[in-house]
Amino acid sequence: MPETAAKLEAPGALFLAEIRGQPQALLGLLEHEAAYARVAATALERGPTTVRMVGHGSSDNAASYGVYAFGLLPRWTALRDSITLTVHYNSGPDLSGSTVIGLSQSGQTPDVIEYVSRARRAGAFTIALTNDVSSDLAAEAEEVLPLAAGPELSIAATKTYLNQVAALGLLAAHTAGQGRVFAANLRLTADLLEGIIPQLEQQIRIVALPFASTGRMFVIGRGTEFATAREIALKLLETCRIAAEPLTATALAHGPVAALDPLFPVWTIASDDEMLPAVVDAAARVRNADATLVATGNAAEALEGAAYVLPVPKPPSSLLAPLLSVVPGQLFAWALAQARGLDPDHPAGLSKVTLAR
């Protein structure tokens, strides 16, 4: 058997290869910048400045980022909408004045397709954001934007999630007339990502081992980094069987802090932006409870008393920070799954395309 094939059959090899492939995936997305500029121009012409995003799993986590990208750049109202109200209860809001974005790696998720179909019939401007531009979702939407992440063979999404975040930022930037600057900064961020992955791989192998018996964890972020917290928590749930719960930094003080003890670690994402004081305060609460604090993000060093510090570089724009800060969490899930004797490429009970409604 060829050596490369043998390596790819090792548990977690696909997951790791796709984490390593994320810088190239971002560059692949940028090859389609003209399409994003064109769709943004159409959205401006159509006039609806309420953005409704729908998706499941990692796609829904990326939509959490989209709320901030559209809110901070064109200053549009953006939300993760309820599929259930519109599709299953048939009692959703009037979608005629909205831009609707359906997010799906495969483009085959039934209720996302149905939501987009109903929204289009109601007069919404509908956009499919998918890796498969010939999918059913793409056929239902008025416009299709390629994620261009390339084939994703590991069940747990990595590069698709990263490209969804970048794609939503790129679309929002073009609607705000800042697309070229955002694209240039995105290219620089891909270079930063390429440089940090090998170093993080080595650090994470050591950091993960003490957590091999961990059964629960909080993952904390705020603002744009709450999407990161949600995505890292999902990766820990699906690949490591850890009951990981994402929280905003402020939500920790409203009840969850009572659960903390020395056996309850907290993964914390700190970026150098307006949300940093709240994250610093949350970290102090973690320390006061004698819980293990893991500090990540481009402002990780600001969290005093962390047992583990996994910093990432500061990108040229704070809106691009989540593209870097999610990577330590992805690698942690990869290494921790192996430490627990699990295969992160094939989580129990999951398949690549989820067809259940």
Minimal CA–CA distance to 165: which of 334, 29, 19?
29
Burial zone of 202 (CB within 10 Å; 0-12 exposed, 13-18 middle, 19+ buried): exposed
290 within domain boundaries: yes
Pair of tokens at residue 15: 């997951």
Domain-embedded: residue 175: yes
Mean pLDDT of 259-276: 94
Q: How confident is the model at residue 105 (pLDDT cuts 50, 70, 90)?
A: very high
Q: Is the pLDDT of residue 333 over 70?
A: yes
What is the residue-wise DSSP string for 52-109?
EEE--THHHHHHHHHHHHHHHTT--EEEE--HIIIIISS-----TTEEEEEEESSS--
Catalytic residue among 7, 159, 314, 352: 352
pLDDT at 1: 38
Q: Is 159 in the active site?
A: no
Structural domain harbouring 252: 197-339
Separation between Cα atoms, residue 53 and residue 76, nearest integer Å: 13
Q: Average pLDDT, stretch 276-293?
A: 94
226 and 118 part of one domain: no
Are 157 and 113 members of one domain? Answer: yes
Q: Is residue 344 situated within a structural domain?
A: no
Task: Give the whole-number percent of the chain exceeding pLDDT 90.
Answer: 84
Domain assignment present for residue 354? The answer is: no
Tell me the percentage of the chain whose pLDDT exceeds 70: 95
Report if residue 217 sits inside a domain.
yes
pLDDT in tens, 174-213: 999 999 999 999 999 999 999 999 999 999 999 999 999 9
Assess whether pLDDT exceeds 50 at residue 2.
no
Yes or no: say if 310 and 201 are a contact pair by the CB < 8 Å rule. no
Which residues on neighbouring strands pair with residue 297, listed in sequence order?
A: 311
Confidence at 48, pLDDT banded by 50, 70, 90 = confident
> Residue 29 falls within a domain, yes or no?
yes
Is the distance from CB of 212 to CB of 333 less than 8 angstroms? no
Domain of residue 73, CATH code: 3.40.50.10490
Mean pLDDT for all residues in the chain? 93
The count of domains in the chain is 2
Identify the band that residue 155 occupies on the pLDDT scale cut at 50, 70 and 90.
Answer: confident
User: What global pTM score does this model have?
Assistant: 0.94
